[in-house]
Amino acid sequence: MNKQLTLTQSRVLLKQEKSNQPILIVIAIIAALVFSFFYLKISLVDMIVGLPNFILFFFQKFLPASTENLAAYIPSVIDTLGYAVVATYLSSILAFILGILISEHTNKFKAIRLFVRGFISILRNIPFIIWGALLVYIFGIGGIVGVLALLLVTIGFLGKSYAESIDEIAGDKLEALKANGSSYFQILVHGIIPQFIPAWINWTLFAFEINVRASVVLGLVGAGGIGVLIDTNINLFKYGEALTIIAVVVCIILLTEFATNSIRKRIL
């Protein structure tokens, strides 16, 4: 009682409590920073000069872009986009099945749920370029390997997203369907899938964007596509040509984003 009185009499506190937590956090961050700095034995001068040096190098060596062989890049561009399209199609189907297996509402068996969830999180947690390198290691160089690597990565991403969307749908409606005696597949086809379609379109378009980006990069490990051209041209010191290819890549990626966004606007 006494304590409350003094509280109301005293001035209004702007801060709830005086704590030294912010100071501790700042000290911890600085300590981690200092540790990283000395552990890597990186030189401060190099770090500061690095970016200007790179920009200077860029303007001196990469510019001007040479556009002589522009027509020769077209097959690689088609390959890159083709891998992304095929991988998106296949993965959206496979990931839908996995999504159904992960969601609590569509799969009652906990053991299977956990198993599929674990499998997908392994797929997601290893960076895609590592998957690419690994698959090239197992299968050798080639286009199919590129598609496979894209598939693995996209399944990991889409499986999780689909499962979350299915989880959001479930509820009263499914219960109502269950109550009037619908079978499992009737619930799936008439209860879940119609409501799932907008989320499905959205995630799949997103996956396509990711696939296009990944497909460009997978060329670096020998899985086909336009990445190979960037790598070889830089290794041959043909920087002007490399810059043109990179510009082509930027165009592809920006156009894809534009296309998926306009599809989203029209449909959703």
Q: Which residues contact other proteins (rule: CB under 8 A)?
A: 29, 32-33, 35-37, 39-43, 46-47, 50-51, 53-54, 57-58, 61-62, 78-79, 81-83, 85-86, 89, 121-122, 125-130, 133-134, 137-140, 142-144, 147, 213, 216-217, 220-221, 227, 230-231, 234, 239, 242, 246, 249-250, 253-254, 257
User: Nearest-CA neighbor of 147 among 95, 201, 226, 80?
Assistant: 80
Q: Which are the contacts of 214, defined by CB distance < 8 A and separation ≥ 6?
A: 84, 128, 149, 150, 153
Q: How far is the CB of 4 from other proteins (least distance, A)?
A: 24
Q: Which residue, 7 or 250, has its beta carbon nearer to other proteins?
A: 250
Q: Which residue, 139 or 184, has its beta carbon nearer to other proteins?
A: 139
Q: Which residue, 39 or 185, has its beta carbon nearer to other proteins?
A: 39
Q: How far is the CB of 249 from other proteins (least distance, A)?
A: 7
Q: How far is the CB of 142 from other proteins (least distance, A)?
A: 6
Tell me whether the omega of the peptide bond preceding residue 198 falls within 30 degrees of 0, making it cis: no
* Cα separation, 137 vs 5, whole angstroms: 74
